[in-house]
Amino acid sequence: MPELRKDPILGRWIIISSERSKRPTSFGPVSERVAAHLCPFCPGHEDNTPPEIISYRNSGNDADKQIWKLRVIPNKYPALMVEGTIDHESFGLYERMNGIGAHEVIIETPNHDCDITDMTEVEVNDILWVYRERMLDLQKDIRLKHILIFKNHGRDAGASLEHSHSQLIATPIIPKRVVEELNGSQNYYNFNKRCIFCDIINQEMSDDERIVNEIDNFIVIEPYASRSPFETWILPKNHQSSYLEMNEKEHFSLAQCLRDTLIRIKLALNDPAFNLVLHTRPVSTEAKDYYHWHIEIIPKLTNVAGFEWGSGFYINPTTPEEAAQFLRKIEIKENTIDQI
């Protein structure tokens, strides 16, 4: 059983998960490219994964329905386990609880060599829609307080398999990073009676220095205090605290926006490894007025070293203004991607 342990100094929770140590890539470099005939995420290898939770399949006759377009499965080496009770306890300075939660893998395509940048907008929309479906289902579990969806692309970003996929981890506590965002947003709202993310969007639209693109209700920016080169955020222009507040039209616009943004990053930076994280209002909090959901994309262009670990400071050698201008120069045309 995985275990959650609380750091008594910083107040953050650490997951101790011995199951993860059984992965083939544990404590060593991420494995080299896995050929399609060996990849557990490829069609025909469904027996190599845990039973699927949900899948999207082709419509039509029975033969067509056997062909899946997208699958969600439990992670074979989960950081947290669904079964069991939390059993929160304290002893002396320390707190612990059982590692209860959910850890799922979203296999985004049956095509081993396809990534989001190669997909149609409809296919990207399917990925975003299944995020919604899994959130709606998992939030029914009263043990779970927060749901985080993320994507690791490339070896340097921690992807152990090349086949395009993202992951979901639902936890019985709200992660410290999210708590810090919530607290900062609430403090700003208490003083100004406005959402800080909405004010950031308004200032970025006024300054027009760090905007990468705008598609319908979404804006893409390089944040003013970017932690690393080409850190990129996607935010809804209208105030929404939860990812689940989007309607179907907004979902499709987000699919267009995400695909467009990842194509720009891929072309401008020679297909870098990156981490993508979806931050949305936790299940267990009432932060509707002051929190604002968003997607963060962090290309892995620099290393976090001793100073960053020791101080909490990040050293970014590229200004967000330069990064935004560079990404804006990427012109995306139907069926072609060209750089101006």
- Residues with a known catalytic role: 165
Alpha helices (runs of H) in 176-272, residue ranges in sequence order: 176-192, 196-207, 248-268
Could you tell me the two tokens for 110?
A: 């049956």
Q: What residues pair up with 56 in beta bridges, in sequence order?
A: 70
Q: How many angstroms separate the CA atoms of 244 and 133, rounded?
A: 9
C-beta of residue 108 within 8 angstroms of C-beta of residue 116:
yes
Q: In a 3-state reduction of DSSP, which class is residue 229? A: coil
Could you tell me the two tokens for 12?
A: 């953050």
DSSP per position, 55-100? EEE--SSHHHHTSEEEEEEE-SS-SSBSSS----EEETTEEEEE-B
C-beta of residue 128 within 8 angstroms of C-beta of residue 248:
no
List the beta strands (DSSP E) in the chain: 3-6, 13-16, 54-57, 68-74, 89-91, 94-98, 102-107, 146-153, 165-171, 211-215, 218-221, 232-236, 274-279, 294-299, 330-333, 336-339
Q: What angle do CA 96, 101, 106 make, to 5 degrees?
A: 145
Torsion sign (Cα): 171, 175, 178, 184: positive
User: Which of 315, 212, 307, 335 is closest to 269 using CA atoms?
Assistant: 212
Q: Which residues, including other chains, have CB under 8 Å from residue 309's CB and lie 6 or more apart? A: none
- Secondary element (H or E) of residue 327: helix 320-328
